[in-house]
Amino acid sequence: MSTTSFTKRTLGLETAEPAVTPPPATNNTTFAKKPKLASKSRKRDIPEGLWTKCPKCSSMVFDKELDENLKVCTHCQYHFPLGARERITSLVEPSTFEEMDADMTSVDILSFTGTGSYKSKLDKYLKSTGLKDAVITGIGKIGEHQVGLGVMDFSFLGGSMGSVVGEKLTRMIEQSTKRGLPAVIVSTSGGARMYEGMFSLMQMAKTCGALAYHATARLPYISVLTDPTTAGVMASYASVGDLIIAEPGAMIGFAGPRVIKDTTQSELPPGFQTAEFLLDHGLIDAIVPRKELKARLVSYLTFLTPRAKQSAAA
Ligand SMILES: [Zn+2]
């Protein structure tokens, strides 16, 4: 160490001169090329936005392949979140979906402010997702069956249920009742939207009330739970289906596991709050992989709809 520092000092001239002037270009051409070669790294072979890393098995999945497989990992069958529009496309016959209340948007009734105002959050998600709120509703055809369909989208404020989500779903259910159609709701939600306080909690009773009328008319309602379906949504319309089906590995529950653990002061069993655990304990009726969902819905709807009604709808 000491020898090298000594030799450097003996060079003298170089260290005394500040290295402000650039080195002559002629001599350094071969040297200057080297970093260029080095910068031709592997990143060029894997362009950004073409591959997605699977959070379950850590393998890189080609985005196009993932889209073709309905956002299910081709290696481990992990079900990635699916947007509401993509979900509707995957379930409904082409050009049969008539959207309802497409322009209904949330209002900041309470002038809520916390880490950010509710208004600013709404504006942010309106821009980033292209959605007006966390649910899309309408009437469409699944196979031969005309159904009322509501599909939630987790990317809009965690799929939280505010007045708009509750109202759109209620109107869809009421319209289904009126027209004698089965109702299908695909849920994914973090729960009630706390920015709307009590107004969001009221949606639990409102949607369930509409479903009760729907049941009185002896019309089926199928609830599909996707990852995650929790809290106020799970405690209302998501859990009152005539049939409740879930996607594999979906997290389903009311409160989070940490809260339950703290409240009950006990260890939670392995796999707690997963679709598989709930199926074992009788809370849901079936687990259906995404690629089979449409076919299964068709067979369930055929089973649940009397023949007379089927021919009338056709
Ligand atoms: Zn995977």
Nearest residue to 162 via CA among 101, 213, 99, 105: 105
What pLDDT sits at residue 112? 86
Rounded Cα gap, residues 49 and 62, in angstroms: 9
Note whether 247 and 227 are within 8 A (CB).
Answer: yes
Q: Which of 110-114, 118-122, 201-205 comes out lowest in average pLDDT?
A: 110-114
- Write out the two tokens for 21: 């002037």
269-299: per-residue pLDDT in tens? 888 899 999 999 999 999 999 999 999 999 9
How sure is the predictor about 47, in pLDDT bands with cuts at 50, 70 and 90?
A: low
The rounded percent of the chain whose pLDDT value lies above 70 is 82
144-174: per-residue pLDDT in tens? 999 999 999 999 999 999 999 999 999 999 9
Phi-psi region of 210 (alpha: psi -120 to 50; beta: other; left: phi over 0): alpha
CA of 187 to the centre of ligand 1 (A): 23
Rounded Cα gap, residues 186 and 288, in angstroms: 13
What pLDDT sits at residue 57? 94
Rounded Cα gap, residues 272 and 252, in angstroms: 9
What pLDDT sits at residue 155? 95
CA of 70 to the centre of ligand 1 (A): 13
Q: What is the mean pLDDT of the chain?
A: 86
Which residues fall within 8 angstroms of residue 205, CB to CB, at 6 or more apart?
Answer: 236
What residues have their beta carbon closer than 5 A to ion ligand 1?
A: 54, 56-57, 73, 75-76, 78
pTM > 0.75: yes or no: yes
